[in-house]
Amino acid sequence: MCELLGMSANVPTDIVFSFTGLMQRGGGTGPHRDGWGIGFYEGRGLRLFQDPAASVDSEVARLLQRYPIKSQTVIGHIRQANVGAVSLANTHPFMRELWGRNWCFAHNGQLPDFAATAGFYRPVGDTDSEAAFCALLNRLRLACPEPVPVDVLLPVLVASCSEYHQRGVFNCLLSDGDWLFSFCSTKLAHITRRAPFGPACLKDAQLSVDFKAQTTPNDVVTLLATEPLTSNEVWNCYQPGEWRLWRGGECIAQGRA
């Protein structure tokens, strides 16, 4: 199974600390050696870095550790291949344009025999994950031919994820750059950091940070991960079928399918 990483913040924030922990699981402390990727939103733009190599050995991953990119919305992924070859085309996150915005998606789990449906969006690679992403976007495009607020989209998003949840394992992160949607089928956790900030210690690397020295009292930063990344903080674990919608580090809607 793969692992997810997400961030929603109210100010541009770098994710170097959490990314450093996650990349160790990509072939070091974990078995997820089949590629990794991470997308950083900058306004309506999306910086997407991908590598089919194991993140623990990746020079691109090391570059991102030395080059802190600040963003308010981030989606990351490390892959343990089940469906589809180890290749750049099959490396998450996946990106497509819809309504003039870059949509970014990453999936953890398996959807047995999931085939891409006919429609505007088609997969480039041969993973069940990308097929599900294209099918989801086709549903949204059909239900809403023109751009609509995210609260109008939510019923379609939740219904689609609920259906995929019934067909297999579907933990996912999805964003259009304005909001971050998370859905749990089996495993997902989050932590929201706000004042008073304190220290945090990674589980997978000998690295700690005192967020009080790097933040202001008004900062709000929510991290999402398949498994908690730190050893000295309390993470909130999702229940199967639970979903949340995030904006600016805050949960603005939630429910359970």
pLDDT digits (tens, 9 = 90+) for 217-240: 999 999 999 999 999 999 999 999
Torsion of CA 235, 239, 241, 245, to 10 degrees: -30
pLDDT of residue 116: 75
CB-based contact 19:257 (threshold 8 Å): no
pLDDT of residue 162: 96
pTM above 0.95, yes or no: yes
Whether residue 161 lies in the annotated active site: no
Residue of 2, 104, 134, 161 marked active site: 2
Number of domains in the chain: 1
Burial of 129 (C-beta count, 10 Å sphere; 0-12/13-18/19+): buried
pLDDT of residue 54: 95
What is the extent of the structural domain holding 31?
3-256
Q: How far apart are CA 138 and CA 154, in angstroms?
A: 15
pLDDT of residue 82: 86
CA nearest to 197, candidates 214, 222, 175: 214
CATH number of residue 160's parent domain: 3.60.20.10
pLDDT of residue 84: 83
The set of residues, in sequence order, having a beta carbon less than 8 Å from that of 143 and lying 6+ positions away, is 153, 156
CA nearest to 94, candidates 56, 138, 127: 127
For 107-163, how does the pLDDT look when each residue is reduced to its tens digit (9 = 90+)?
Answer: 999 999 888 778 999 999 999 999 999 999 999 999 998 999 999 999 999 999 999
